[in-house]
Structure 1
Amino acid sequence: MVTARIEDYALLSDCRTAALVSTAGSIDWLCLPRLDSASVFAALLGDEHHGRWLLRPIDADAVSTRRYEGDTFVLVTRWTSGDAVAEVHDVMPVGAGADAEASALRTDVVRRIVGIRGEMTFAQHLTLRFDYARAMPWVRQTGTDDEPCLVAMAGPDALAIRGAHLEPNDHEHTGEVSIREGETRDLHLTWFPSHRDMPALLDADVAFAETAEWWREWAGRIAHSGPHHAEVVRSLLILRALSNRETGGIAAAATMGLPEDIGGERNWDYRYVWLRDAALTLEALVDHGFLSLADSWRTWLLRAVAGDPADLQIMYGPAGERDITERELPQLPGFEGSRPVRLGNGAATQYQADVVGEVIVTLSAARAAGVRESEFSWALERQLLRFTAEQIERPDQGLWEIRGEPRYFTHSRVMIWAAFDRGVRAVEEDGLDGPVERWSGLRDRMRREIDEKGVRDGHFVQHADTDEVDASLLLLPQVGYCRPDDPRMLATVERIEQTLVRDGLVYRYRTETGVDGLSGSEGAFLACSFWLVEQYACTGRLDEAEALMDRLCGLANDVGMLSEEYDPGAGRQLGNTPQAFSHLALVRAADALARRAHRPRG
């Protein structure tokens, strides 16, 4: 098994797919050409036999440190071996030149070895396994001694590996590269469709310079001042890295199958576009000056949900694909034996009543920020509101995608309230057209129901049939249902602190109640802890807010990445990474600390 922990990985991104690079210098996860494509490197979910690209000094005692080159995703790993020092600079170029059509037909990873002091020899171990390690490729040498090239093909996919000579060795390819002070050596991996000719070699100097400048220019437009500035900038960069630059779809995470419970069954595929997560991500980006992304995502949304709103899904592929059927991959043993590894996500077929509310609230926020209505945007919102009205009696699986019995989850009912509230405001405040009296009536009906059935013993409850709380209730003030200092909210926070806070971090709900229909447990959900920071900040508990925020930011790895969950007992990250939900919650918590006042979304 791969011995790296989840926090040992750094992200490379070209805003279409992503690679994970370990502290040991191994690319253990890469799907090509898109984030949701089949993997060519899947050691993350098994071992080296499931695909990897290791590049590290032959000296087993060599030590490394790493960083991103400023506000970019150019990863610099510095290796020290005795008196010798060398660096590996890893990059996924954002585009391959000015020709967008040609760029879509290739994906590149460039690994540059730079000699800093003395001489160092690096070993390469390249194991290519296509289609989630189900396909052993046909590999052939096509280059020369001066310009070595390895070409691997399997089905629709082909890879060219250039820059250093590699020899076959028991179903992998190995080689060594020596580098002296002042020298550089570039190693290239290029994906291309197997029915097309191999693309020309990239100019590595241009690729590094243009990609670094692309990221720096984007980060330079981030509008933010206040505490935790570096963490906010890196989080927004990660959210951009999870956004497809061609389709506008925003993925929930870069990975699949990473466990919420080591050795357990809670291993999901998060490489898709959850409407909820994407909406919240978009709102974070709009809040920090990126209005053009709002228009792009709204266009994506229109394409994805086009047709009958009754066919609405909670998630889609990066271009709006609907078929993401869940199945298992038995050939992958899973991260630290956590099985099954699931491809696709069965939650796509669930009804989650909060999703439309999240979308409507975000579109309302975008409108308030100055994003103009398109020819079809308000018509889309009206259709979504009509769909919500038709489903108002229907219980759902809720924010946490439970696989147990549908319920009337309080958070879901509040988001229905929020959807109609924003619809009413769009008509009354923004001059748009719609059945405002009907929407107003439905909004008032939802408030009466929530106040009656969603509150028990003075606090909000998880759903109408329990007195349990869950962390989604921390979101009620965020959408304006109540103020953070509402007595019911303060009582809810007290119950959350009593029952869901362990080792100072917030868990989503008590898994032992069986509400989610799954076995095992899970770690503390990082987004929930950031929500508690915001709640504290908005109710004057500033010392507690700042202390929790500092602790949470300290859980990020050395390059600023957060996964979905954290195990405080074992001191390690859990779940898929990097997780959009965690990073967007960090951004909102930092904004709340800077503001120190309540500001509802939308």
Structure 2
Amino acid sequence: MSVPIEDYALLSDCRTAALVSRDGSIDWLCVPRFDSASVFGALLGDEEQGCWSLRPADPEAVSTRAYAGDTFELVTRWETAEGVAEVHDVMPVDKRHLDVVRRVDLIRRVVGISGRVEFVNHLRMRFDYARAIPWVRQAGTADAPELRAIAGPDALVLRGVAVAPDDHAHSGRLAVAAGETRDLSLTWHPSHHAPPEQLDVDAVLAQTTQWWQSWADRIEHGGVYHDDVVRSLLLLRALSHQDTGGIVAAATTSLPEHFGGVRNWDYRFVWLRDAALTLQALIEHGFIGVAHHWRTWLLRAIAGDAGQMQIVYGIDGERDLWERELKSLPGYEGSAPVRIGNGAAEQYQADVVGEVLLALGAARDAGLEESAFSWPLERALLAHVAEQLDRPDNGIWEIRGEPRKFTHSRVMLWVAFDRAVQAVHEHGLDGPVERWERIRAELEAEIDAQGYDAERGHFVQSYGTSEVDAALLVLPQVGFCAPDDPRMLGTVAEIERTLMADGLVHRYRTTTGVDGLAGHEHPFLACSFWLVVQYAASGRLADATALMDRLCGLANDVGMLSEEYDVHAHRHAGNTPQALSHLALVRAADAIAAASA
């Protein structure tokens, strides 16, 4: 039976991530990168797809958990009839490049608090998305046991505990009394290399704790919802690749938007939109250096013909994200198919250039100096979109139906040229500013005429329809209109009337068939946070605070949010942790702080 999505906590070394359940089972781990094949895939199936469970032998043991301070050291406290013990789960952060270290480590430190607690350790390794059962052999000594597993390019080494074969898995027991500590470690390395040296656990735990805490201490935020903002920014950092600067949209693939349905997508890639919005959130809270790292990634990824720009790339900037279905993973609660890769890489989404230029403009305003290629890149992107202004697109929600002229996309095109004009007038950069101003004016007139339903008094999802879309909530945030513009207030009223479910916001009405997919989905958390921003900016501070409290209350016990929320079953849905949800939380908290000042 699948564990509820909200029962997972994230471990991260800023190159990949693991998900740990409340019951002490690591059910998701891809190595060595976020988008690599899994070695633990029980998240999308069951134990047969691989996991590493460490929990007390007492079936009545009760657990509580929390991160140690502003870090990703997860401390699970177990209380049993015989005593109390803690498990400290950590993925050490190594500041050296992965090409140098060539290892990924998971440490599980067991600490006795009182009495005596016996633990059961159960390891089931399934490489390559559960398509490969590894060849396993015992090594080491009685005092320093090792279990080594190899399949294809991957190898794992378990140290610190003796285990025995158990039905194509390995199990063992260990016990700790008050004051005792046992360290278990699992290390990935390329199979053609010798196993790396065992870590000095005390040293790497201290180093990793200091790394995360010092990063959190740099966060510039003294407003309301401080703890929620700090944890959200930490999660955004945890989803950012240490070496390349790529920011993945989530740590998982194929967690369903509709349980039992087909809306299952791979989010372990770098969407320019999500990464640009994450960049803005980090800049606004003091991380200008991140802007430089991401801009360098962007220049590498897009380098060449701007007309070949994709809306999503691999972590290194890879273009081939071929979408295919896996039969080896049955899916979360049977939600099939499980997909790896993402076909959205081949879509045209007109809004993306606007988000990219918005983020680069924010970095410029924050003091990031232009590189030799940064402004030429922006000019090339503008020239490209100017050549295809009339082209319909797939929109921010990546519809798989017929392309349309989405109002949000048209507004983001307006944003692209608006920020280019600002760059010339406010920062002295060069460019055909008169042409950009003309295109901006033409887009504004077009949106007013075709993206607004004057009879009904609200902006519309796409030209030729009367439907609304939650993405329209972004219009005031990007400066297209004022939050209290009558057109915007009418749009909010229509969104409240047609897209709200138990106080939360759907992206759009799936019953219209716009997305070309079967099934439905749940309210989208980022959209609900966007409504908080709109409420706060338009004088509805009490409504903003009430909705914000509700949304923050949906985070799990360690502060994580997924993509959507099932208001009927009261559970998380979609991939987790979702970068867009957390960066929208940060923006909503900032909006409430500004409105309260």
TM-score grouping bracket, smaller chain normalisation: over 0.9
Match of 1:286 in 2: 283
Partner SS state of residue 380, structure 2: helix
Q: 1:597–1:449: structure 2 CA closer, same or farther, 3 Å change rule?
A: farther
Cα distance in 2 between the residues matched to 1:305 and 1:196:
34
From 358, 366, 371, give the equivalent of 1:369. 366
Match of 2:351 in 1: 354
Cα distance in 1 between the residues matched to 2:363 and 2:537:
23
Match of 1:185 in 2: 182
Alignment of 1:169-568 (within 5 A): 169-456=166-453, 457=455, 458-568=457-567
Contact 2:107–2:183 (CA under 8 A) maintained in structure 1: yes
Cα distance in 2 between the residues matched to 1:271 and 1:558:
23
Aligned letter for 1:408?
K
Aligned letter for 2:119?
F
Cα distance in 2 between the residues matched to 1:102 and 1:433:
40
Match of 2:591 in 1: 592
Cα distance in 2 between the residues matched to 1:597 and 1:516:
38
Cα distance in 2 between the residues matched to 1:407 and 1:308:
25
Partner SS state of residue 37, structure 1: coil
Cα distance in 2 between the residues matched to 1:453 and 1:153:
60
139-148 or 211-220: bigger deviation: 139-148
- Deviation string 1:372-424 (CA, Å, 9 cap, x unpaired) is 11111101100111111112111000000000000000000000000000111
- Deviation string 1:477-536 (CA, Å, 9 cap, x unpaired) is 011000000000000000000000110000000000000000111110000000000000
Alignment of 1:559-578 (within 5 A): 559-578=558-577
Match of 1:89 in 2: 88
Partner SS state of residue 85, structure 1: strand
Contact 2:97–2:243 (CA under 8 A) maintained in structure 1: no
Partner SS state of residue 257, structure 1: coil
Aligned letter for 2:40?
F
Note the residue ranges of structure 2 that are not aligned, 5 or more in a row.
Answer: none
| Identical-residue share of aligned pairs (%) | 67
**Distance apart, 1:597 and its partner CA:** 8.0
Aligned letter for 1:90?
D
Cα distance in 2 between the residues matched to 1:215 and 1:442:
45
Cα distance in 2 between the residues matched to 1:209 and 1:427:
48
The answer to whether structure 1 residue 161 and structure 2 residue 158 are counterparts is yes
Aligned letter for 2:276?
A
Cα distance in 2 between the residues matched to 1:451 and 1:281:
29
Contact 2:120–2:173 (CA under 8 A) maintained in structure 1: yes
Aligned letter for 2:156?
L
Match of 1:49 in 2: 48
Q: 1:487–1:189: structure 2 CA closer, same or farther, 3 Å change rule?
A: same
Cα distance in 2 between the residues matched to 1:412 and 1:359:
13
Alignment of 1:124-143 (within 5 A): 124-143=121-140
Cα distance in 2 between the residues matched to 1:132 and 1:37:
9
Alignment of 1:112-131 (within 5 A): 112-131=109-128
**Distance apart, 1:40 and its partner CA:** 0.2
- Deviation string 1:296-323 (CA, Å, 9 cap, x unpaired) is 0000000000111111100001110111
Contact 2:82–2:117 (CA under 8 A) maintained in structure 1: no
Match of 1:74 in 2: 73
- Deviation string 1:108-165 (CA, Å, 9 cap, x unpaired) is 0000000000001100110000000001111111111111001111111111010000
Cα distance in 1 between the residues matched to 2:304 and 2:497:
46
Aligned letter for 1:88?
V
Cα distance in 1 between the residues matched to 2:540 and 2:132:
55
**Distance apart, 1:82 and its partner CA:** 1.2
Aligned letter for 1:56?
R
**Distance apart, 1:283 and its partner CA:** 0.4
Aligned letter for 2:124?
T
Cα distance in 1 between the residues matched to 2:392 and 2:99:
48
Partner SS state of residue 140, structure 1: strand
Contact 2:98–2:243 (CA under 8 A) maintained in structure 1: no
**Distance apart, 1:438 and its partner CA:** 1.0
Match of 1:5 in 2: 4
The answer to whether structure 1 residue 146 and structure 2 residue 143 are counterparts is yes
Cα distance in 1 between the residues matched to 2:386 and 2:242:
34
Contact 1:424–1:440 (CA under 8 A) maintained in structure 2: yes
Q: 1:494–1:101: structure 2 CA closer, same or farther, 3 Å change rule?
A: closer
Cα distance in 2 between the residues matched to 1:322 and 1:99:
26
Cα distance in 1 between the residues matched to 2:97 and 2:313:
24
- Alignment size in residue pairs: 595
Cα distance in 1 between the residues matched to 2:403 and 2:96:
49
Partner SS state of residue 570, structure 1: coil
Cα distance in 2 between the residues matched to 1:405 and 1:194:
46
**Distance apart, 1:83 and its partner CA:** 4.2
TM-score (norm 2): 0.99
Partner SS state of residue 29, structure 1: strand
**Distance apart, 1:433 and its partner CA:** 0.3
Cα distance in 2 between the residues matched to 1:30 and 1:83:
32
Contact 1:72–1:212 (CA under 8 A) maintained in structure 2: yes
Q: 1:597–1:369: structure 2 CA closer, same or farther, 3 Å change rule?
A: farther
Aligned letter for 1:582?
S
Q: 1:492–1:285: structure 2 CA closer, same or farther, 3 Å change rule?
A: same
Cα distance in 2 between the residues matched to 1:489 and 1:541:
14
Partner SS state of residue 477, structure 2: helix
Aligned letter for 1:38?
A
Contact 1:67–1:558 (CA under 8 A) maintained in structure 2: yes
- Deviation string 1:141-198 (CA, Å, 9 cap, x unpaired) is 1111111001111111111010000111111000001111100000000010100111
Cα distance in 2 between the residues matched to 1:360 and 1:581:
18
Aligned letter for 2:7?
D
Contact 1:409–1:462 (CA under 8 A) maintained in structure 2: yes
**Distance apart, 1:99 and its partner CA:** 5.2
Cα distance in 2 between the residues matched to 1:102 and 1:438:
46
Cα distance in 2 between the residues matched to 1:94 and 1:103:
14
Cα distance in 1 between the residues matched to 2:128 and 2:545:
45
Give the CA RMSD over aligned residues.
1.0
Cα distance in 2 between the residues matched to 1:566 and 1:529:
10
**Distance apart, 1:101 and its partner CA:** 5.8
Contact 1:538–1:597 (CA under 8 A) maintained in structure 2: no
TM-score (norm 1): 0.98
**Distance apart, 1:102 and its partner CA:** 6.5
Note the residue ranges of structure 1 that are not aligned, 5 or more in a row.
Answer: none
Cα distance in 1 between the residues matched to 2:413 and 2:32:
37
- Deviation string 1:241-293 (CA, Å, 9 cap, x unpaired) is 00001000000000001000000000000000000000000000000000000
